[in-house]
Amino acid sequence: MFSQKEFIDVSRKFVCVRLESYESKEHQDMIRKFLDGRFENTAFCILAPDGETQLSGTGRGPEQALRRGRGRLDDENVVTKLETYASEYRTKGKPDEMVLQDFHSFRQALNVASADQRLLVYAVGPESAEEKLRQQLRPVFASKEIIGLFHLDFADREKDSKWTSTIRKSSDRDGIYVIRADEFGQSGEALERLDLATDPKTITGHLLATNLAFSLLEERKDYASHVSEGRREGIHFENGMPYGEDRDGDGEIDHRGGMGKGKGGKGKGKGRTPTE
């Protein structure tokens, strides 16, 4: 559903927030709030512009959260429901005022870029210049040419100090780096570096050219074979939070089905392969 043009088009009428459920306790607590104390990998809900008022039901996805009664909605009815919600509110903000994407860490940004098969734009600069850099990049990532093509992350000098050790052709110089993640998102290569002072129009041109070359080289992954290969190679991504779900809402992660000693047990869960 999420890759369908109709769904993407209607999503532009919303502020879409992707909770980082295995990197942030705060985000896990938000999911518990939506799911009556339970924790699952994700939850879907539509909120009013105040960010608090809940307009829809909740579920693992929109086809569950937007239904009335039992069952699931089909894709066409999900889009219709979303259109109805969007029509009730007028957009007041401007596209170049949007909140820019920013991950909890560089390692997570690289991993997600690999999973989604997008290039990662990584902004590295002094903390004092970050707000100016955000203002510079907003019109770029709000443009119809660029939106949805890349992932974006801003460097945290303390947390991401060793990022160059995993990225070929990188340097300690400040700049806007365009990075291609390797197959399992644990390393990568810097394809290009732009000065922080580069104007938005020039940045847009470079990003489009680099993405075109990337699209001609990158082969789409087959999910099942990719995960199997990751397991064979022993690829492991260490999450910021313990992996697993708490479906019974007792406040403890349930270790089930290869995750440990069974529900309620104390076995140590295994992390997923990066793009599983």
- pLDDT value, residue 235: 87
84 and 142, same domain (yes or no): no
| Whether residue 129 has pLDDT greater than 50 | yes
209 and 229, same domain (yes or no): no
Cα 157 to Cα 125: distance, rounded to the nearest angstrom = 9
- pLDDT value, residue 71: 66
Question: Which of residues 202, 217, 232 is at a domain's end?
Answer: 217
Cα 138 to Cα 256: distance, rounded to the nearest angstrom = 43
129 and 211, same domain (yes or no): yes
255: confidence class by pLDDT, cuts 50, 70, 90: low
| Whether residue 8 has pLDDT greater than 70 | yes
Whether 57 contacts 274, CB under 8 Å: no
User: What are the structure tokens assigned to 159, written together?
Assistant: 């947390």
64 and 15, same domain (yes or no): yes
- pLDDT value, residue 90: 84
Collapsing DSSP to helix, strand or coil, 222 comes out as coil
- pLDDT value, residue 203: 97
51 and 129, same domain (yes or no): no
Beta-sheet pairing, 119-124 with 150-154: parallel
Average pLDDT of the chain, as a whole number: 86
54 and 101, same domain (yes or no): no
- pLDDT value, residue 91: 80
Least trusted range by pLDDT, from 137-141, 172-176, 235-239: 235-239
10 and 55, same domain (yes or no): yes
149 and 201, same domain (yes or no): yes
Whether 15 contacts 97, CB under 8 Å: no
- pLDDT value, residue 120: 98
272: confidence class by pLDDT, cuts 50, 70, 90: very low
226 and 175, same domain (yes or no): no
Mean pLDDT of 13-32: 88
- pLDDT value, residue 92: 80
Question: Which of residues 170, 193, 217 is at a domain's end?
Answer: 217
Please, what is the angle between helix 130-142 and helix 200-217, to 10°? Answer: 60
Helix, strand, coil percentages in the chain from 3-state DSSP, rounded to 5: 35, 15, 50
Per residue in 169-219, pLDDT (tens digit) is 999 999 999 999 999 999 999 999 999 999 999 999 999 999 999 999 888
One-letter identity of residue 84: T
| H-run or E-run covering 72 | none
The CATH number assigned to the domain holding 116 equals: 3.40.30.10
187 and 138, same domain (yes or no): yes
The count of structural domains within the chain is: 3
User: Do you know the residue count of the chain?
Assistant: 276
Per residue in 56-106, pLDDT (tens digit) is 998 888 988 888 766 678 888 999 999 999 999 988 877 667 789 999 999
Question: Which of residues 200, 217, 234 is at a domain's end?
Answer: 217
Q: Which domain holds residue 77?
A: 5-92
236 and 161, same domain (yes or no): no
Cα 71 to Cα 67: distance, rounded to the nearest angstrom = 7
100 and 213, same domain (yes or no): yes
